């Protein structure tokens, strides 16, 4: 059966995986010291703020797209069982891979914990936490979305939706102003996208018509975040109003462009976004292991610029070998775990 692809959703997924790579690899890092030109300082500050305000919309966009497709395709218990079974299989596969890689890399057995169950650990040396909390949360969000969909009363659904949205916005802002960070892997960061995705499916024109106002809110709350960071406030990664409006803004602006043409690169990035997301940290770890082993210097500029060349090289290395890994895996029965 030939599945007709949605170019808008493909574009959103491709854009999101690009944001993930930018956030994790940070290829453009300037060499900052006391003699650095003020212009370089300004450019570096702008890049860091863009990473925090724009690149971090990647995971919320993935959740919105996934929930959007769930609500769009959902036809009862049968579809839910099929969807949740597939997600659990993918989650279990990658958690096993993460633990196996950790054992090989550290020669240690990870201690069983809740963090392992939710896919946050074991953390790899140098590159940090596992990314598979994303899959655990997606399973939870899919279950909650199914229960949400079972509510037959439209008025009750509207009341619940408004309650969830208002509570999340209030909670995020309160934590932000109190300088209390919400752990980035907590499910509370993402529950708000269930009603948002539902009404994007059910009332698309009404929600898409307000995309300019979402953009204004994203800009204003981004300045709000930047202002607070200037005074030492360390906001949550995902539990921020700016991130919510940023994700909605990008979704609405991209999805409302119905004339988006097919693009092979975008389609491949979209199709293999799971593989790209799952594999890249392993190659990032191996790169830094290689750098550490051969004592390659990291404080030299790139073609006379104050850009650190090691992170640019890292970017090329990780992207190339991640794509190469996907090419090999797609030739095997494991291809179901990368698409």
157-172 pLDDT per residue, tens: 999 999 999 999 999 9
pTM for this one?
0.94
Assigned token pair, 246:
């940023």
Q: How far from chain centre, in Å, is Cα 110?
A: 25
Asked if 32 contacts 311 with a C-beta cutoff of 8 angstroms, the reply is no
Instruction: 166-175: list long-range contacts, CB under 8 Å, 24+ apart.
Output: 168/192, 168/244, 169/241, 169/244, 171/239, 172/236, 172/239, 172/240, 172/241, 172/244, 173/241, 175/236, 175/239
Average pLDDT, the chain: 91
Asked if 257 contacts 18 with a C-beta cutoff of 8 angstroms, the reply is no
- DSSP lists the bridge partners of residue 30 as 307
pLDDT digits (tens, 9 = 90+) for 76-128: 899 999 999 999 999 999 999 999 999 999 999 999 999 999 999 999 998 99
pLDDT of residue 11: 95
More confident residue, 262 or 247: 247
């Amino acid at each position: 059966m030939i599945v007709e692809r949605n170019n808008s959703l493909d574009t959103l997924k491709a854009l999101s995986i690009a944001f993930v790579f930018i956030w994790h690899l940070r290829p453009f890092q300037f060499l900052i010291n006391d003699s650095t030109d003020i212009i370089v300082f300004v450019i570096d500050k702008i890049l860091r703020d863009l990473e925090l305000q724009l690149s971090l919309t990647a995971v919320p966009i993935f959740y919105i797209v996934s929930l959007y497709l769930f609500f769009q395709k959902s036809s009862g218990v049968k579809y839910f069982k099929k969807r949740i079974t597939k997600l659990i299989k993918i989650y279990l596969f990658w958690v096993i891979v993460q633990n196996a890689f950790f054992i090989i890399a550290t020669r240690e057995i990870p201690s069983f914990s809740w963090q392992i169950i939710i896919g946050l650990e074991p953390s790899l040396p140098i590159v940090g936490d596992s990314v598979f909390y994303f899959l655990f949360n997606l399973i939870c969000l899919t279950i909650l979305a199914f229960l949400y969909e079972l509510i037959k009363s439209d008025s009750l659904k509207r009341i619940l939706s408004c309650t969830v949205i208002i509570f999340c916005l209030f909670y995020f802002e309160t934590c932000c102003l109190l300088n209390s960070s919400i752990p980035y892997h907590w499910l509370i960061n993402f529950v708000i996208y269930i009603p948002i995705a539902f009404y994007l499916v059910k009332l698309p024109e009404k929600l898409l018509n307000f995309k300019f106002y979402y953009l204004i809110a994203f800009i204003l709350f981004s300045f709000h975040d930047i202002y607070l960071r200037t005074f030492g406030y360390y906001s949550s990664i995902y539990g921020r109003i700016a991130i919510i409006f940023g994700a909605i803004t990008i979704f609405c602006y991209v999805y409302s462009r119905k004339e988006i043409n097919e693009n092979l690169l975008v389609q491949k990035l979209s199709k293999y976004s799971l593989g790209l997301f799952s594999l890249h940290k392993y190659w990032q770890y191996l790169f830094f292991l290689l750098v550490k082993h051969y004592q390659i210097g990291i404080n030299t500029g790139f073609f006379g610029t104050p850009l650190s060349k090691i992170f640019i090289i890292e970017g090329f290395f990780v992207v190339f070998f991640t794509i190469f890994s996907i090419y090999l895996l797609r030739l095997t029965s494991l291809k179901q775990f990368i698409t």
